[in-house]
């Protein structure tokens, strides 16, 4: 239900002009860039950032380097909490290069936790498939 609500909200925001976010200090740079990762078949990369959300949640955002569609994002916390989540994409919505998009809000996130975000999709309009893993440490 939470995942469906996320994609419905994201679709509405995209229709109304996209959702670009600034972090709390007013610039549009990520709080921490992606590190490591693999890229099979495409050239797209993702930057990840986190910021305080509502109700004591931590909001995770991603920014693609190229226009792309996403079929799935697998999220894993790798520090020892055994947290995993799968965010389903529709495979047709085009996420614009250089624009920040909300991925998810999670509770219980603390500084120092390490997350892996695996993005699976295709570049747009070329259609080159990719499977990109981005590592992120919460500041």
Q: Are 22 and 29 in contact (CB under 8 A)?
A: no
Question: What Cα–Cα distance (Å) separates residue 46 from each residue in 93, 96, 100?
Answer: 16, 12, 10
Is the per-residue pLDDT at 131 higher than 60? yes
Domains of the chain, start order: 2-21+29-137 (2.60.40)
104-125 pLDDT tens trace: 999 999 999 999 999 999 999 9
Q: What is the pLDDT of residue 42?
A: 59
Q: Is 1 exposed, middle or buried, given 0-12, 13-18 or 19+ CB atoms closer than 10 A?
A: exposed
The total of other beta-carbon atoms located within 10 Å of residue 18's CB is: 12
Q: Is the pTM of this model over 0.75?
A: no
pLDDT at 15 (0 to 100)? 29
Summarize pLDDT for 53-63 with one digit per residue, the tens: 888 899 999 99
């Amino acid at each position: 239900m939470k995942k469906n609500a996320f994609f419905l909200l994201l679709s509405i925001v995209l229709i109304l002009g996209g959702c670009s976010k600034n972090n709390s200090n007013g610039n549009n740079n990520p709080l921490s860039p992606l590190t490591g990762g693999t890229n099979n078949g495409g050239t797209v990369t993702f930057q990840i950032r986190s910021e305080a959300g509502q109700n004591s949640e931590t909001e995770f955002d991603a920014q693609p380097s190229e226009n792309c569609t996403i079929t799935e994002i697998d999220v894993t916390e790798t520090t020892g909490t055994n947290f995993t989540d799968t965010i389903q994409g529709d495979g047709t919505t085009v996420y614009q290069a250089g624009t920040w998009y909300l991925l998810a809000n999670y509770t219980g996130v603390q500084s120092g936790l390490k997350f892996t975000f695996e993005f699976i999709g295709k570049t747009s309009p070329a259609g080159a498939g990719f499977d990109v893993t981005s590592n992120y440490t919460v500041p």
